[in-house]
Amino acid sequence: MYKIAIAGASTLVGRELKEALSESPLAAARIVLLDQEEALGQLDQVGDEVTFVQTIDAETFDRVDFTFFCGTEDLTRKYWRQALRSGSTVLDLSGALDQETGVLVRAPWLGAEAATVDLFTPAVVPAHPAALALGLLLERIQQAAPVRFAGATLLEPASEFGRAALDELHQQTVNLLSFQGLPRAIYDAQAAYNLLSGLGESATASLNAVEARVRRHYAALSVGHWPALALQVIHAPVFHGHTFSIAIELERPVELSALEDALGGDHVDLVLEDTDSPSNLAATGQNDILVRLRPEQDARNSSKISRLWLWAASDNLRLNAQNAVECALDLRRLRPQGTVQ
């Protein structure tokens, strides 16, 4: 029996993680829900059991095997060392620790990742779901031919900035339709019915921070095996789901069928019909990344192609939670029986 703590259990990612754990080999674990003061005492459900959100105190992490930090970066920085001192393995979904010495960025689905965890690894950061999706697609394309250039536009949903961003986007939409002023606490800009490459000066969310984090995680996962990636992050007026427009140029022409064969497989659903185009709505609740491959226009009449576009979509919260669970399963070899007897 393992004991698992979820710090930030009331967040969007925390709720998704509970579901992912219940569908995994760790489903039998005892799960403790933790959060900050505003969420304390809330009733919640883990599997078939009703429980409540608890506060973090001096004994919170005693005999905890895995602690998932799903809340704010401040929450993670405040308590992660306390969890370590108590003997818990730390998995940071907030992104606060990815530049800490010795902390590894992980995505067990990817073959390029060479780093391995051991007893001296202080914590693990499950890779940002966008970096995971981009890495998985480019890794597979390279199985067909070396990539000369790769550039991606990532359309970022409101849910990546938490529940407050969802609420503000919703309220902006309602207020625009009723000709009222817009709330701006999160975005300091009109996010509803609008595409943004940057947010206002007083915004608490930051597209630059998201882009920097995706770049760091992509580079950490690549370990020099993938092509350099040109990346732009755009905020889209949607609640959930990452979408990607990816331009790729290969070193040499290859058959379209070879590219399709390379892309297909576990965790990727290759969409072959134009009428079933991937979208953030279609990806909601899906475990796989939905992908549509389109050759560059001037190469359509050729039997081989060297330039192509990928249009992809994934459930950002689901992918994040799945990767975190996979990281925990990978770390389980260091705690084969758990510490709770």
Which CATH entry fits the domain spanning 131-316: 3.50.50.60, 3.30.360.10, 3.90.1310.10, 3.40.50.300?
A: 3.30.360.10
Tens-of-pLDDT digits for all 341 residues of the chain?
A: 899 999 999 899 999 999 999 999 999 999 999 987 655 455 455 555 656 678 888 788 999 999 999 999 999 999 999 999 999 999 999 999 999 998 999 999 997 665 667 767 889 999 999 999 999 999 999 999 999 999 999 999 999 999 999 999 999 999 999 999 999 999 999 999 999 999 999 999 999 999 999 999 999 999 888 999 999 999 999 999 999 999 999 999 999 999 999 999 999 999 987 778 899 999 999 999 999 999 986 555 567 899 999 999 999 999 999 999 999 998 888 776 555 43
pLDDT for position 333: 80
Residue range 3-126+321-334, CATH number: 3.40.50.720
Domain map (residue ranges) of the chain: 3-126+321-334, 131-316
Closest C-alpha to 324, from 21, 12, 80, 64: 21
CA angle centred on 28, ends 22 and 31, rounded to 5° = 75
The pTM (predicted TM-score) of the whole model is 0.91
pLDDT for position 53: 77
Q: Which residues lie across from 182 on neighbouring strands?
A: none
CA distances from 228 to 136, 219, 312, 316 (A): 14, 8, 19, 23
pLDDT for position 114: 57
pLDDT for position 340: 45
Q: How far is CA 80 from the centre of its chain?
A: 20
